Structure 1
């Protein structure tokens, strides 16, 4: 178990955190700007949580492009070429996104049931962001950019 923890929190983890800080500034900054300062929030009145989903999706699409480039080349130094790493990365992002934000929204609505929809959605986006980071590291490290094991 000690070896697993040591391997899990190696230099790749810290590079991932550094890239994640940049992704947070870019993707999540845009997510909150889209929700709070554009007409996207008005989608909440068209269909339940519409602005929440559109804002978070736009932020994550843009942040994911930055993440792919930096994590592929800087964090995991993945040499794989072609469409396969892009598809694996995209699948990982999609699964992590829907899992994180799908769990965050109902949980936050339940906890903050007496608050305004704007407060609930903003807090849900923060909770989703935290869940996404954890799920995404595991997915990128052990699926999208998994190192090929050397045969002995």
Structure 2
């Protein structure tokens, strides 16, 4: 049985804090100051921070030494699936739950909810799909 509460999770959370600080500045900055769309703002966040995340999680978190294009493809697939699921769930959920709020409030809350959903899904995907240990 694989333990979820271990050193890998702690390292993933450290990397995640760094990525979250950078990504949050990108996403909310683009949305609120550059007046970019919800989808462009959130996608820019994950495209840019995913590059940093790949290297930090590969070598620091999961200490993976594989040099394989398939691993890069698995990582990219994981990011895309987690992004589409997290933000695809967050947007309609917040639209429904915050129906009386302004579009800006709904979108900002939705991006925050999407970030939380993405983090959990991404950890599972990176650990068990992108950087899975060979048995």
TM-score interval, normalised by the smaller of the two chains: over 0.9
Please tell me whether the aligned partners of residues 28 and 60 of structure 1 are also in contact (alpha carbons under 8 angstroms): no
Stretches of structure 2 that go unaligned for 5 or more consecutive residues are none
Query: Number of residue pairs matched?
Result: 135
Relative contact order, CA 8 A, sep 6+: which one is greater? 2
Query: TM-score, normalization: structure 1?
Result: 0.86
Q: Are residue 27 (structure 1) and residue 9 (structure 2) matched?
A: no
Radius of gyration: which is bigger? 1
Map 1:1-152 onto structure 2 (within 5 A): 4=2, 7-40=3-36, 51-149=37-135
Shift of 1:39: 3.6
Stretches of structure 1 that go unaligned for 5 or more consecutive residues are 41-50
Aligned equivalents of 1:112 and 1:96: distance in 2? 23
| Dislocated runs of 4+, deviation >4 Å | none
CA deviation profile, 1:38-87 (whole Å, cap 9, x unmatched): 141xxxxxxxxxx0000000011111111101000000011110311111
RMSD over equivalenced CA pairs, Å:
0.9
Query: TM-score, normalization: structure 2?
Result: 0.97
